[in-house]
């Protein structure tokens, strides 16, 4: 493996994303693709959206290069590219003109089912040191992909938060992969982090362009597929993925459950996620986004590392330990409460 080759790839992906985002900003302004503040927004200024298309383009090209040179398995790579492109295209069309939410959700399920079939299914997975769910595991995998895809869109609401979640998660898991001698899989994650970082400079601390549904859904799906690929290798690695994605998973899931119990529809626009309430309370996007970085690096990564490396009998318990303080935070900030 040529490390200079990968270093060049990282730099090239970063620069490509940065420049493509500049073009997308020009394109959005020209086509009047503007995110205007509404009841769900945490912003007060109309801002162009769709800049995350740059992340999609640069990363998929980079992934294709890795496959051509034999640095990534063909089946996994084609699954990532095909599903990622489909979700990004759907999001791009939605950014340009609203697509019915039920139609969009149905397509998400079709894509997720295609991914699970392409990866060969998960009926062989054993959880909790002996629990065999058989075919039902495939259903869980589909639901996992659809939920992660959508929650990433829900959580993309303040400057930089979706980007730093992707960057810290991919870097954390990449370090674990390097330690466990899965170097090639680590390179795929480093490339994704470099690509997202190229966009982040346009979105944080001041947002000159938003990511848009094309990229938020893309990131959620790609991270989900990579997590499922890890599940095929080792349940502990999958649990590490769940832990590193904990901030988004807990906030979105807790908020949704709370809202549904309070009688709200699942797809009603709102501003009651923990991160949204915190950004209003502290009057700062930057503080909340950087707090996510701290949580991911100081709390979630060490637990994910221990779960992945120590080969515990019940790695699922590590997920519960990691999530507990995140649930407490959601309770404290009254996530899901319309009047919080």
Binding-site entries for Mg(2+): 153, 213
Q: Which two tokens stand for residue 322?
A: 């990691």
Q: Nearest 10 degrees: CA dihedral of 155, 37, 192, 311?
A: -10
Q: Give the separation between CA 85 and CA 75, rounded to whole angstroms.
A: 15
CB 229 within 8 A of CB 188: no
Which phi and psi (to 5°) does residue 31 adopt?
-90, 5
| Residue found under tokens 């939920």 | 147
The answer to whether 46 and 231 have CB atoms below 8 angstroms apart is: no
Residues of each annotated binding site: 153, 213
* Closest to 36 (Cα-Cα) out of 89, 102, 95: 95
Q: Which of 218, 63, 87 is nearest to 156 (CA)?
A: 218
Q: Residue 39 CB: number of other CB atoms within 10 A?
A: 8
């Amino acid at each position: 493996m040529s490390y200079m080759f990968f270093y060049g790839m990282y730099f090239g992906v970063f620069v490509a994303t940065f420049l493509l985002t500049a073009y997308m900003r020009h394109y959005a302004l020209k086509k009047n693709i503007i995110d205007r503040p509404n009841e769900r927004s945490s912003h007060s200024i109309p801002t162009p959206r769709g800049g995350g298309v740059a992340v999609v383009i640069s990363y998929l090209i980079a992934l294709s290069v890795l496959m051509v040179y034999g640095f990534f398995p063909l089946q996994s790579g084609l699954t990532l590219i095909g599903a990622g492109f489909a979700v990004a295209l759907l999001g791009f069309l939605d950014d340009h003109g609203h697509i019915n939410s039920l139609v969009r959700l149905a397509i998400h399920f079709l894509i997720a089912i295609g991914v699970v079939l392409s990866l060969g299914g998960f009926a062989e997975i054993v959880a909790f040191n002996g629990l065999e769910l058989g075919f039902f595991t495939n259903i869980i995998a589909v639901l996992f992909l659809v939920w992660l895809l959508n929650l990433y869109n829900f959580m993309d609401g303040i400057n930089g938060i979706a980007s730093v979640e992707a960057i810290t998660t991919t870097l954390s898991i990449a370090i674990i992969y390097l330690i466990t001698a899965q170097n090639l899989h680590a390179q795929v994650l480093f490339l994704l982090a470099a690509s997202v970082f190229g966009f982040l400079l346009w979105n944080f601390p001041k947002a000159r362009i938003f990511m848009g549904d094309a990229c938020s859904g893309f990131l959620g799906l790609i991270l989900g597929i990579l997590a499922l690929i890890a599940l095929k290798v080792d349940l502990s690695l999958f649990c590490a993925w769940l832990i590193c994605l904990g901030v988004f998973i807990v906030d979105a899931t807790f908020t949704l459950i709370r809202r549904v119990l309070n009688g709200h529809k699942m797809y009603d626009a709102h501003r009651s996620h923990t991160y949204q309430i915190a950004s209003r309370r502290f009057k700062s996007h930057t503080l909340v986004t950087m707090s996510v970085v701290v949580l991911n690096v100081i709390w979630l990564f060490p637990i994910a590392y221990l779960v992945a490396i120590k080969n515990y009998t019940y790695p699922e318990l590590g997920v519960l330990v990691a999530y507990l303080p995140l649930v407490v935070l959601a309770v404290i900030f009254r996530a899901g409460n319309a009047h919080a």
